[in-house]
Amino acid sequence: MVRSLLPARFLPARLLLTSAVLLAASVLAPTMAQPALLPAPLEATWTEAGVFTVTPETPLLVPDGDLGALRIAGILADLLAFGEDTRPRTVEARAYARTPRLDAPPPIVFTDDAPDSLGVEGYVLTVAPEQITLAANAPAGWFYATQPLRQLLPAAVEYAAAFPVPLTVPAGRVVDRPRFGWRGMMLDVARHFFGPNEVRRVIDLMALHKLNRLHLHLSDDQGWRIEIPGWPALTEVGGRTEVGGGEGGYYTVADYDEIVRYAAERFITVVPEIDLPGHTNAALVSTPELNCDGVAPAPYTGIRVGFSTVCVDREETYAFVGDVTEALAAYAGDVIHLGGDEVHELPVEDYRRFMTRAQEIVAPTGRTFMAWDEVAETDVPLLPGSIVQAWRPVTPESAEHLADAVQNGARLVLSPADRIYLDIKYDSTTALGLTWAGLNGVRDAYDWDPSALVDGVADSAVLGVEAPLWTETIGTVRDIEFMAFPRLAGVAEIAWTPQALRSWDGYRQRLGAFGPRWAALGVQFYRSPEVEWAPEGVE
Identify which of 496, 483, 495, 492 has the alpha carbon closest to the alpha carbon of residue 511: 492
pLDDT at 85: 81
Q: Which residues contact 347 (CB under 8 A, 6 or more apart)?
A: none
Q: Which residue has the higher pLDDT, 502 or 16?
A: 502
Note whether 320 and 267 are within 8 A (CB).
no
pLDDT in tens, 115-148: 999 999 999 999 999 999 999 999 999 999 999 9
Identify which of 173, 233, 150, 179 has the alpha carbon closest to the alpha carbon of residue 44: 173
What is the Cα–Cα distance from 227 to 251, expressed in whole angstroms? 6
Q: How far is CA 218 from CA 194, 324, 434, in A?
A: 11, 11, 21
**Average pLDDT over the chain, rounded to whole?**
92
Note whether 277 and 378 are within 8 A (CB).
no
pLDDT at 103: 77
Q: What count of other Cβ atoms lies within 10 Å of the Cβ of residue 4? A: 17
To the question of pTM greater than 0.85 for the whole model, the response is yes
Q: What count of other Cβ atoms lies within 10 Å of the Cβ of residue 234? A: 25
Identify which of 88, 82, 90 has the alpha carbon closest to the alpha carbon of residue 110: 90
Q: Active site includes 342?
A: yes
342 has pLDDT over 90: yes
DSSP state of 198: H
17 has pLDDT over 80: no
502 has pLDDT over 90: yes
What is the Cα–Cα distance from 536 to 505, expressed in whole angstroms? 21
Share of the chain above pLDDT 90, in %: 85
What string of H, E and C letters represents the secondary structure of 238-284? HHHCCHHHCCCCCECHHHHHHHHHHHHHCCCEEEEEEEECECCHHHH
438 has pLDDT over 90: yes
Give residue 374's pLDDT band: very low, low, confident or very high (50, 70, 90).
Answer: very high
Share of the chain above pLDDT 70, in %: 93
95 has pLDDT over 90: no
Given the residues 289, 316, 326, 342, the one annotated as active site: 342
Give the CA radius of gyration of the chain.
Answer: 24
101 has pLDDT over 80: no
Q: What count of other Cβ atoms lies within 10 Å of the Cβ of residue 245? A: 11
92 has pLDDT over 50: yes
